[in-house]
Amino acid sequence: MPAATDELFLRRAIRLAMNGRGMVEPNPMVACVLVRDGQVIGEGYHARFGGPHAEPSALADCRERGNSPAGATAYVTLEPCCHTNKKTPPCAPRLIEAGVARVVIGCLDPNPAVNGNGVAMLRAAGIEVTNGVCEGEAKQLIEPFLRSVEHDSYLTLKWAQSADGKVAGPGGKRTQISGPESSRLVHQLRARSDAIVIGIGTALIDDPMLTPRDVPLRRKPLRIVLDPQLRLPLTSKLVSTAKDWPTAVIHDECRTNSRHAEELRERGVAVHCSEHFGRRGQLEAFAALQLIREELGVRDLFMEPGPTLAGSFLAVANRVWVFRSLTSMNDSTAPAAATIPAQLVPSGTIRVGDDELTEYRRPMIDAATDRPYAVSASADLVLASSTPS
Ligand SMILES: NC(=O)c1ccc[n+]([C@@H]2O[C@H](COP(=O)([O-])OP(=O)(O)OC[C@H]3O[C@@H](n4cnc5c(N)ncnc54)[C@H](OP(=O)(O)O)[C@@H]3O)[C@@H](O)[C@H]2O)c1
Ligand SMILES: [Zn+2]
């Protein structure tokens, strides 16, 4: 099969896999497209956590359409699983039983129980396997999952800015910069994340709820405030709703036994400390991610930073979403957005209502060549661009 044909069907599988976004986590999004004589004869994707994997879905679709998978090529975005200690039976044996002739894979599954074993099982059964087709795109599709297997975090930053680069009104006053269609995307991303993170500056000025609203919600994301001096008011919306919505504050070590810490705990806020939060910079941002990962057990983070927090966390961000409105603030006292470093590369721009959304991603590195893959748009951006706003 010519390489261009393999890429075409693998890309079709990548796009199909995106339909599982928000429903399959912490599993990866995966899809499988079955092709014979250049025709798609069945396809399927992993649609929900605990539900069937992509390969059995594609095989079922193939049979429902009256086709036989025998002799077909299966295009799968991720190496078929072969381990049994999980919710669903393994997929590599299903492809073998179905008699497929060839399997084309986007990337290996780094999960130690798979990691090449799925490929080995297929080859041992006489199936031709090609791995690494559209590898960069296949990996970027599931970057949060890949990072989590490596015991690492995945951090998305998002903010809205006016046409002249301001993130708030005169003197930092709260101002709605982006339109309702952009807000809806933000609520979606909140709902798809393990945690929503803000700095105390924003908590004090905006007094946000930080809950995902008017979007499907599978679980309540944790709300985290980075608050070195433990200034979060007991009267804030975050604290007064903490018994209903999980809420955590991370602060500087010496305040653990303070009366304020005690009062926050009484209201249901989890109070964590790190000696690093009083200082600002990249190292502190690393330390914050580590604490959030290890003590709070959350990895896929959605941060809505003011310019101060952005200044520290851009150095460790994997992805940034910037909503740009068409209108200018025209006020020199309004705070300006942080500057996006050159290491974060634009991976797509779409129109959202009257706003423009640009996504930036930190390129993933191809371990075989030590070179960065070309960045591709995340599932969230692709889905946002194909949903009428
Ligand atoms: N347009 C948007 O999308 C958007 C989004 C969010 C906020 N805003 C606006 O931004 C303004 C607030 O921004 P801001 O810059 O003042 O506050 P911020 O970024 O929300 O919070 C900054 C504070 O976080 C704490 N912090 C903890 N760890 C930190 C670290 N590693 N690096 C830096 N700071 C750390 C510090 O508190 P301590 O000072 O106590 O040490 C710091 O002052 C408001 O006007 C708000 O409306 C706009
Ligand atoms: Zn599987």
Q: What is the average per-residue pLDDT within 148-155?
A: 94
Structure tokens at 112: 């130690």
Atom of ligand 1 nearest to the CA of 175: 47
- Name the residue type at position 285: A
Q: What is the average per-residue pLDDT within 43-54?
A: 96
Structure tokens at 102: 């060839």
Residues that constitute the known binding site: 53, 81, 91, 160, 190, 202, 206, 210, 213
Atom of ligand 1 nearest to the CA of 278: 41
Active-site residue set: 55
Q: Mapping DSSP to helix (H, G, I), strand (E, B) and coil, where does residue 44 land?
A: strand
How far apart (Å, rounded) are the C-alpha atoms in residues 21 and 49? Answer: 10
How far apart (Å, rounded) are the C-alpha atoms in residues 50 and 300? Answer: 19
- Which H or E element spans position 249? strand 247-251
**Poorest-pLDDT segment among 112-116, 336-340, 360-364:** 112-116
Helix, strand, coil share (%) of the chain residues, nearest 5 = 35, 20, 45
Residues that constitute the known binding site for substrate: 190, 206, 210, 213
pLDDT in tens, 301-320: 999 999 999 999 999 999 99
Spatial neighbors of 247 by CB under 8 A, at least 6 apart, are 222, 223, 224, 225, 238, 239, 241, 268, 269, 270
- Which H or E element spans position 122? helix 117-124
Structure tokens at 34: 């079955």
Q: What is the average per-residue pLDDT within 113-120?
A: 94
User: Does ligand 1 have an atom closer than 6 angstroms to the CB of 31?
Assistant: no
How far apart (Å, rounded) are the C-alpha atoms in residues 384 and 388? Answer: 8
Structure tokens at 144: 């949060």
On average, the pLDDT of the chain sits at 94
Of 34, 77, 21, 4, the C-alpha closest to 380 is 21
Which residue has the least CA distance to atom 13 on ligand 1? 306
User: Does ligand 1 have an atom closer than 6 angstroms to the CB of 201?
Assistant: yes
Atom of ligand 1 nearest to the CA of 312: 32
Which residue has the least CA distance to atom 24 on ligand 1? 199
pLDDT in tens, 11-26: 999 999 999 999 999 9
How far apart (Å, rounded) are the C-alpha atoms in residues 317 and 252? Answer: 22
Strand partners, 199: 226
User: Does ligand 1 have an atom closer than 6 angstroms to the CB of 229?
Assistant: yes
Query: Are 77 and 133 contacting, i.e. CB atoms less than 8 angstroms apart?
Result: no
Distance 199 CA to ligand 2 centre (A): 39
| pLDDT given for residue 155 in this prediction | 98
User: Does ligand 1 have an atom closer than 6 angstroms to the CB of 320?
Assistant: no
The bound ligand whose nearest atom lies closest to the alpha carbon of 30 is 2
Distance 344 CA to ligand 1 centre (A): 21
Q: What is the average per-residue pLDDT within 252-280?
A: 87
How far apart (Å, rounded) are the C-alpha atoms in residues 211 and 223? Answer: 8
Q: Mapping DSSP to helix (H, G, I), strand (E, B) and coil, where does residue 90 land?
A: coil
Q: What is the average per-residue pLDDT within 229-256?
A: 94
Distance 19 CA to ligand 2 centre (A): 17
Spatial neighbors of 373 by CB under 8 A, at least 6 apart, are 135, 136, 137, 139, 140, 363, 364, 365, 366
Spatial neighbors of 298 by CB under 8 A, at least 6 apart, are 194, 195, 222, 292
Q: What is the average per-residue pLDDT within 258-268?
A: 96
How far apart (Å, rounded) are the C-alpha atoms in residues 304 and 190? Answer: 10
User: Does ligand 1 have an atom closer than 6 angstroms to the CB of 280?
Assistant: yes
Q: Mapping DSSP to helix (H, G, I), strand (E, B) and coil, where does residue 188 land?
A: helix
Strand partners, 36: 39
Of 105, 121, 123, 125, the C-alpha closest to 113 is 121
- Reported confidence tier of residue 1, pLDDT bands at 50, 70, 90: low
Number of Cβ within a 10 Å radius of residue 97: 11
pLDDT in tens, 330-339: 999 999 999 9
Query: Does the pLDDT of residue 275 top 80, yes or no?
Result: no
Distance 305 CA to ligand 1 centre (A): 6
Of 373, 388, 375, 349, the C-alpha closest to 132 is 373
- Which H or E element spans position 125? none
Q: What is the average per-residue pLDDT within 288-292?
A: 92
Strand order in the sheet with 195-199: 270-273, 247-251, 222-226, 195-199, 300-303, 154-161, 319-324, 355-361, 345-352
Query: Are 378 and 347 contacting, i.e. CB atoms less than 8 angstroms apart?
Result: yes
Query: Does the pLDDT of residue 182 top 90, yes or no?
Result: yes
Q: What is the average per-residue pLDDT within 87-93?
A: 86
- Reported confidence tier of residue 278, pLDDT bands at 50, 70, 90: low
Give me the half-sphere count of Cα atoms (radius 13 Å) on the Cβ side of residue 182: 23
Query: Does the pLDDT of residue 389 top 60, yes or no?
Result: no
Q: What is the average per-residue pLDDT within 113-126?
A: 95
DSSP state of 254: G
Structure tokens at 135: 């590898």
